[in-house]
Amino acid sequence: MFDHVKFGVSDYAASKAFFLKALEPLGVAVVSEGPPTYGAELSSDGNASLCIWQTEEKPAHLHLAFTAENRQQVEAFYRAALEAGGKDNGAPGLRPRYQANYYAAFVIGPDGHNIEVVCHEPEARRTPSTPVRTASCSCGQLSAITAADPDRVSVCHCLACQRRTGSVFGAQARFPANSVTISGVSKQFVRVGDAGSRTVFNFCPTCGATVHYMTEGRDEHIAIPVGAFAEPTFPRPTVSVYEERMHTWVQIPKDIEHTA
């Protein structure tokens, strides 16, 4: 239907960088460009194109939806857009209220526009892959997104974890740090462990829920509370630590690693 869509942006350089990175999984690149007041034309096939230009005007926010060939492209867009500075507005997933096979993700761009990438192909045409998982705080302002499998899932019975979680133990999943994309604003609390290690906890300043943390000197890993994923099918723990402080009524699977 459309030959091209053109709209003004408040920061031409930032918007151009955002769209190029976010839409790179779809093969989008600059096909022509002039000065900022003229703008740039972005396209993947040379037929339909997206055009942006510098302006001081404040138009109403747009909803731009781009077509993906498969669901992997939707997920790749979502990760790339968040890394480019976008704000999560809907993780990859089915939206059956639109159509049975409507698989989409949504990110708010630099000027507040709602950027969507959608795939209409059925699940049967998709190559199986690790699902995109989203952990978030209670209000949804702070989130951590990953498409990687956890390196380790553990439960910790130490008193510090009991106080921090308000539960009888803490359950956390460890991921490669470079596989996790953080979105939102957080405050930090540093806890010094029994052996002197320093762990930096990042929590939402609005609802107070912890979403991710990292131990200083081990920057290659990031830990995320299992409960933040709200996923009952999440992989079960493989190790249990500080069991000397475990509540007497708690039962941990026998076939995992146990540490007193």
Name which of 111, 145, 133 is nearest 233 in CA terms: 133
**CATH entry 3.90.1590.10 includes domain 136-258:** yes
Q: What is the pLDDT of residue 127?
A: 47
25-41 tens-digit pLDDT: 999 999 999 999 889 99
Mean pLDDT of the chain: 89
Q: What is the pLDDT of residue 97?
A: 85
Q: What is the pLDDT of residue 237?
A: 95
pLDDT band with cut points at 50, 70 and 90 for residue 123: low
93-114 tens-digit pLDDT: 999 888 888 999 999 999 999 9
Contact (CB, 8 A) for 39 and 33: yes
**CATH 3.90.1590.10 placement within the chain:** 136-258
Q: What are phi and psi of 39, to 5 degrees?
A: 105, -170
Question: What fold, for 4-129?
Answer: 2,3-Dihydroxybiphenyl 1,2-Dioxygenase; domain 1 (3.10.180)
**CATH 3.10.180.10 placement within the chain:** 4-129
Residue 189 CA neighbour count, 13 Å, CB half: 13
Q: What is the pLDDT of residue 122?
A: 83
pTM for this predicted structure: 0.58
167-212 tens-digit pLDDT: 999 999 999 998 998 988 999 999 987 777 899 999 999 999 999 9
- DSSP 8-class letter at 250: -
Question: What is the C-alpha to C-alpha distance for residues 156 and 86, in angstroms, rounded to an integer?
Answer: 34
Q: Taking 50 as the threshold, does the pLDDT of residue 126 lie above it?
A: no
Task: Read off the amino acid at residue 82.
Answer: L
